[in-house]
Chains A and B, each alone.
Chain A
Amino acid sequence: MVQAPQKLTMYTPAIFRVRVQGVLDKDWGNYFDTQAVSIEKDTAGFLTTVLTSKPVDQSALVGLVNYLNSLGLPLISIECLNQ
């Protein structure tokens, strides 16, 4: 699904990897389109959830971040996987 490198705009769909501290236990699958979810231990031994999105635009990405925030999961990082 990875696309050729291109300039990111507000509307370009892109794949993002979002990492939050803690474990998602809600039925988030209905709320956000992901292609992969994994739970990993970070170096300090804390559990983190890593979500890999399908290609989404900025509104959807920010919506996801807001959603995770409302669930009380601290955001660690967001990476764009297109570049």
Chain B
Amino acid sequence: MDTSFQAKPGISAMTLSGEETFPFLLIQTKLHRPRLNRDQVTRQHILDRINANLCLNDGFSRALTLISAPAGYGKTTLLCQWLEDCPHPNAWLSLDEDDDDPVVFLRYLIEAIRKILPGVCPETLRLLAAPTEPPLDYLSATLINELAGLHETPAKTSTPVTGIILVLDDYHKISNSKAHSFVDGLIQRLPGTVHLAIATRTDPPLPLVSLRAGQQMAEVRAENLRFTLKEAQLYLEQAIGAGLNQEMVKTLEARTEGWAVGLRLAALSLHGAKDQARFIRSFRRGGHRYVMGYLMDEVLTHQSPATQEFLLKTSILNRFCAPLCHTVLNGNQPSTSDFQAENSSQVIIEALDRANLFMVPLDYEGVWYRYHHLFRELLNQRLLATYDRKNITVLHHRAGDWLGQAGLVDEALHHFITAGDVPAAIRLIETHRVEAMNRKQWQQVERWLQRLPAEITEQHPTLLLLRVWLLHIQFRMRDIPPLLDQAQTLLDKNDAKMTDQTQKQLQGEIDMLRSQISYWRGEGQRCLALARRSLAVTPAEHTRTRGLALVYAAGGLQQTGNIAAALDLLRDGLQDTNLLSSTTTLQLLFGQLTIEFLAGDLKSVTRTATHLLDMPQEQAGPTSGAWKHYYLGRTELEQNNPVKAQTQFTAVLEQRYVTHARIVQDSFYGMAVAHQMLGQSAEAGEFADAASAYAVEVRNTRSMLEARSFQARLALLQGRPELAGQWAQEIPREIALFPALFIEIPQATQVKAMLSQKTPDHLHQAEMVLNRLQHFVTNTNTPWAMIEIMALQALLNNAQGNREQALTALEQAVSLARPGGFIRVFVELGPQIASMLQQLTNRGKASDFTEQILAAFPGSLWKDKITADHEAPIQNLAEPLTQREMEILRLLSERLTHKEIARKLVISPLTVRKHTSNIYQKLGVQKRAAAVATAEHLGILRPR
């Protein structure tokens, strides 16, 4: 194979999209509008009809143009002709079966739009990169929002966008009802500045009746597309010259029923026919298939045997370029010498292109082509009839080899699996998996696995391990150990005959994943040993595993009491340029933040988080913001700044579908605690409920139990100890001790609930639980949690009548809290702590920090600090209003009409309506009055 030539099409056909963490490779040729063939007849009357229906006047007059006609009627050609002279920027997407997955579909749709408006729809794109698929409604709402905003904030374009056209060609390839309902929703709420054009062989399951009735759709159907006699004549003259008389044209038009592809085939046949009149006479009555079959025979017989073979054999390919065709036809025979030879693939392709033989060029360089779909189907039928299965399998095999080497993994997998060669498919995945993992292309990995039967992925260590990785990124820790055991057994048996090196690498991954489990079980020694073992065998280029192994090695060091060594390890890692990528940088910084927080060093947390903020996003990765806000929120919360904490947690929650589920869960708790600190019990309760609902949404059983624990904690704070007591008796034993990293520590809540009951029996239970917790926290070395434990010991001792021990414990707590400035923990434990602190002061054992804590205690439980550090109104919405929406909400409250608002903000009334409906949706209301009232109630709007 001529490798120098091969490299080029591989790259031009498939380039990595700009940002590193996107989960897909995009096939760029799907986004090119096909080049028009030279022998076209301009279908002016149809174009006029489309354009007449598409006047752009403060938004397009219609949302949709539907071109619905059977194969070969010239739908794609018509679209190309239309867009050629269309004044509006237009984006093109040729759909195929893979786009059935709504996420893939949407990913391509945005990439298509970005071809004309670079950098737009960043939010939707971020959602698509999330490790788990966000709800489709949310995706569609986000996309619509961003599309609606296009003309207001022309991203990187100098002129504002007045209207764009999105083309979806081959829409009949979509069969997934989820994808259809996505498009349905899109059409229903499409901003006036966007027009959708759909070409399809059959009517799509979209609400066409209501679109027709509401004059929201223009239609072009087979009846419009069929060639009139005049057009047929024009076309045939162009194609074969003026040799045909009127009668002959009439016969052809009648026989083909004005069917574009039939006329094309007829022209091709006539071109080579010696006796045109005889050919036309022999062209008898029959249906399309008959016409097609007859004409195909004619066309094929005019081709040389080499070209015939080429056409049949390459019909297995979705798209092709010369080197790929060469490989499919000849296998690995070198071609350098006969590259320009008469029958080389390159020469044949050029000849076919010149002859207009149903080739659709897919790029402007003349490298990639596809066949006209109908033509390919017929060629493929003929291939199956001409060659035996064995021969065809060989072709698929060769195609898979070439595509795999060019990095077109999905297409290669398709051919290998069609050829029934599972081992080749597995080898291909093995070759590409590390890069996919490093680039966080998890959805792609999931698709690869889905192409293979489950019984195969369960029996192969590499594939099984990929399944574990998918669980790992979804943080489904409970499901991991059994699969890891299974993977270990398979690896030890080595039925797959892997090399030593591969075995070692896989062992490194298993060790890293086991190290992670050990960390969460609080087994620091084991965690450290496993992580080190993993680092010893994992090669440098496997950055994903190495980065995580480093983090867990640091975690192991932290749990075994070497916090300084842990931080050094991470800082060294951050200096190691081999490791640096957005994924690993983020992992290491996340490790650093976590350990600094656990150590109670809030100053360092703030510094590291700020550093993360200053890093360019390409380096830190798109989800880094959420981590930064999360740890800043935790810091503000501990330092008793509830309003500032809310700002940070709100920023995390804004990214709830993009970022890690664990910090989203925690941010709901953070919001609830902050509200409670501000004396806003109802809001606190709402966020606690939201935390429970979220745990259910992400199907995490531990989080569900933890959220109930948090509800009990809130009940205590709100003076409902019975509820908490009931919970403390029943639930906590199901919750295992867990390294104290997060806001809610169920065992601490259990102790508080027991203490609130005050019977000797309860106190005894509290003591047992607290001692167990203290033991665990000591063993896992999380100093920040020790502050609360010592404060709880003080309360317990006090309740047991051991005054002196109580004060000693509290003194210890204060001295632990002092370096980081932890205050919230004392205030949350209530007035009893305040009076003990007062006693410490009276004994002269207080510092200025004790004063600070005492000053934070409110007269009531927690004083209303809302005006203290208050800048902007705080929003209590799960999905906060944007700045623009706030602006419009304010104007709505002033009773302005949509038109007046539009004039005031210099946007279209349509956009105002769009924003308004978003506002209503976010506030959960139907009407303006209710929106204003709700917003005032939530404190988003100042009451008039």
Contacts and interface: CB of A to CB of B under 8 A. Distances in A.
A22 interface: no
B216 to A, nearest CB: 12
A10 B288 contact: yes
B221 A10 contact: no
Interface string B82-106: 0000000000000000000000000
A63 B221 contact: no
Given A10-B222, A10-B259, A30 B203 contact: no
Given A11-B226, A30-B207, A33-B209, A63 B259 contact: no
Nearest to B204: A63
B208 interface: yes
B205 A58 contact: no
A59 B209 contact: no
B222 A31 contact: no
Interface in B220-248: 221-223, 225-226
A63 B209 contact: no
A67 B209 contact: no
B207 A31 contact: yes
A30 B209 CA distance: 5
A57 B257 contact: no
Interface in B54-82: 68-70, 73
Interface residues of B, number: 27
Contact of A57 (B209, B210, B221, B259): B221
Interface string B255-298: 00111000000000000000000000000000010000000000
B175 interface: yes
A68 to B, nearest CB: 10
B69 A11 contact: yes
Contacts of B208: 30-33
B223 A13 contact: yes
B202 interface: yes
A11 B206 CA distance: 21
Contact of A59 (B205, B210, B222): B222
Contact of A10 (B70, B177, B212): B70
Given A10-B259, A30-B210, A70-B177, A63 B205 contact: yes
Interface of A is mostly: helix
A58 B72 CA distance: 14
A29 B213 CA distance: 12
Interface string A45-75: 0000000000001111011101100100000
B752 interface: no
A9 interface: yes
Nearest to A58: B70
Interface in B696-745: none
Contacts of A67: 205
B221 A66 contact: no
B4 to A, nearest CB: 46
Given A31-B209, A57-B222, A9 B68 contact: no
User: Which interface class (under 10, 10 to 19, 20 to 34, 35 or more) fits A?
Assistant: 20 to 34
Interface string B617-645: 00000000000000000000000000000
Contact of B203 (A12, A13, A63): A63
B68 A59 contact: yes
A11 B209 contact: no
B202 A59 contact: yes
B185 to A, nearest CB: 13
B70 to A, nearest CB: 5
Contacts of B221: 11, 57, 59-60
B205 A60 contact: no
B223 A11 contact: yes
B68 A11 contact: no
Contacts of B203: 59-60, 62-64
Nearest to A13: B223
B30 interface: no
B201 interface: yes
A61 to B, nearest CB: 8
B257 A10 contact: yes
Contact of A9 (B177, B207, B257): B257
Nearest to A33: B209
Contacts of A31: 205-209
A2 B749 CA distance: 77
A32 B68 CA distance: 14
A33 B68 CA distance: 15
A70 B205 contact: yes
Contacts of B223: 11-13, 57
Nearest to B221: A57
Contacts of A30: 207-210
A11 B259 CA distance: 10
A64 to B, nearest CB: 7
Nearest to A67: B205
B202 A66 contact: yes
Contacts of A9: 257
Nearest to A59: B68
A30 B206 CA distance: 8
Nearest to B206: A31
Contacts of B259: 10
A58 B208 CA distance: 16
Contacts of A58: 70, 222
A66 B225 CA distance: 23
Contacts of A66: 202, 205
A59 B207 contact: no
A57 B223 CA distance: 8
A11 B200 CA distance: 14
A11 B209 CA distance: 19
Contact of B257 (A11, A29, A59): A11
**Which of B175, B200, B202 has the largest count of A CB atoms less than 10 A from its CB?**
B202
Contacts of B226: 11
Nearest to A12: B223
Interface in A1-27: 9-13
B175 A70 contact: yes
A53 to B, nearest CB: 11
Nearest to B203: A63
Contacts of B204: 63
Nearest to A62: B202
Interface of A: 9-13, 29-33, 57-60, 62-64, 66-67, 70
Instruction: Please provide the 6 A-B residue pairs with the shortest distance between their CB atoms, ordered closest to farther.
Output: A63-B203, A11-B222, A30-B207, A62-B202, A11-B223, A63-B202
21 contacts: A10-B69, A10-B70, A10-B222, A11-B225, A12-B223, A30-B208, A30-B209, A30-B210, A33-B208, A33-B209, A57-B221, A57-B222, A57-B223, A58-B70, A59-B202, A60-B221, A62-B201, A63-B68, A63-B204, A64-B203, A70-B175
Given A10-B70, A33-B212, 7 more contacts: A10-B69, A11-B226, A12-B223, A57-B69, A57-B223, A59-B69, A59-B203
